[in-house]
Chain A
Amino acid sequence: MSEAAVKSKTVLFQITRQDGPDSDSYVEEFELDYRPNMNVISALMEIRRNPVNTKGEHTTPITWDMNCLEEVCGACSMVINGKPRQSCTALIDQLEQPIRLAPMKTFPVVRDLQVDRSRMFDSLKKVKAWIPIDGTYDLGPGPRMPEKKRQWAYELSKCMTCGVCLEACPNVNSKSDFIGPAPLSQVRLFNSHPTGEMNKADRLEEIMGDGGLANCGNSQNCVQSCPKGIPLTTSIAALNRDTTLQSFKNFFGSDRV
């Protein structure tokens, strides 16, 4: 592409905005000069420097969430051209124009593109997504983990609680209290750890409660949408097997942990 063509090129954005948690949403358009290697975040920063929409009106800068800028923290997730994903890795050169940005409405919208993902962190607490190792004395080293198991467990540990899987899931919505794929997969991660396994039943009991695992309808959108390629539906199916056995243990009684 010649220098002149690059100079005259512009990028058009249609951004779904909302002034506060209870306000109505509206769409505002912005046009920016094209620069090579832009991503959605650098474009939003550009709009913030000069918040003038396509009608020439001076408006408020757009609010969004971001942190690591390398698709590891999950904070900058939003719906870009209809697909939930991280805005830091959404390269302008790879997006169809006009570029439509909207908040992930599965979560409460704070303002513009910023959402409140607290429910996901609450879910992690609920399912005890940690390994209890504290004691009143040194408990010594834990059991070793087989290398093969470590390899697939590492994939599950890549979850950054970004919320894309909840946004994609048809069963996570205002009519249902389904916990969603991400925290379920964390149950499998911590249950597969040799020390975490000691509290396996506690975590399974939790996801067998209301809004838990059984709400999954197998649409499998989560595994298709996960930016980290986490095998979420394999985790869910494995937990289905574990909870089947756990429910038998609960009903008939068992001395196994």
Chain B
Amino acid sequence: MDSLILEISTRGLDRYEAVKFGTTTIGRALDNDIILSDPTVAPHHLQIVQHSDQSIELTNLAEINPTQVDHQPIDTRLIGKLPATIEIGRVQLRLLARDHAVAATRPLAANRSNRHPFGHAYWALILVLICLLVSGTDFFLNSYNSFKWSDLLKYLLRETILTIGGFVLTLSILERLLVNRWEIRQMLTSVCLIYLLFTAAMLLANSLDYLLSASWPSTLLYFGWYLIIVPGAITLYLVHISHLPRNRSLMLALLIASPLALPSILQSTQMQLLLDNFSITARYHNNLSYLNWHLRKRVDIESFIEQARQLEAGQAAD
């Protein structure tokens, strides 16, 4: 019989040990064949025997935290089918056949690989320039006084360079801690894309607000942005750039996005309204648009007054 492989799940990359023909012991004591240093593992916890008839027999040796196979405690168990999931204390193991299939190799997200656009330095540079251009346009469109270059530079420094730079630096440090790598170009590309996406989405939401004479498009964007798009983007980054497993990427993304999202969401008027359904101000649709595209029909004064009679007062707060 071919020798088996024991997959030991760790917080970083998984560890693999060959299980030889015959008897293999697993535990925390140093006289075991495979040593697990986790404190929930007994000194002698599990014995694996590969018999000559190719059967595999697992024997629990621990009184505390007895071994579980497929989530069931065992004394002795013959394993007929691989892979088998084993829990020793809080350590997760999988018993695999040597020919167990492995996932496809992912291309490196670096400029030495032409298959990954995020790794190219010029692509990051182009995106940074586009961000600066968009931010400068935003400054210009919201500037009502005579133009001053110094004002533009201050705005770009504050709103774009420091914002994007701050996110890139913070997230890169997190990535370094997580996967032990610096990937500044990829991070810069990703943050710039998120910035541009947010700008475009805001434009679209505001236009929809005016078109529909409603506020739900921008509210939806606001919550969707922080609760779905930002964690989703970080997950994609961790999966495709940092090459972490999907589930772990999702958890990490939620962890990273939370400090970004929670203060913004909790301070937003939308969330305040959800948490406390009373507002002393009148929330009316004050947005205006030069294009003036709206689905509401234009009415004359008499019709307006007639329809206005139906307007009820707002709800009392709880």
Partners in one complex: no
Chain B residues engaging chain A, CB cutoff 8 angstroms: none
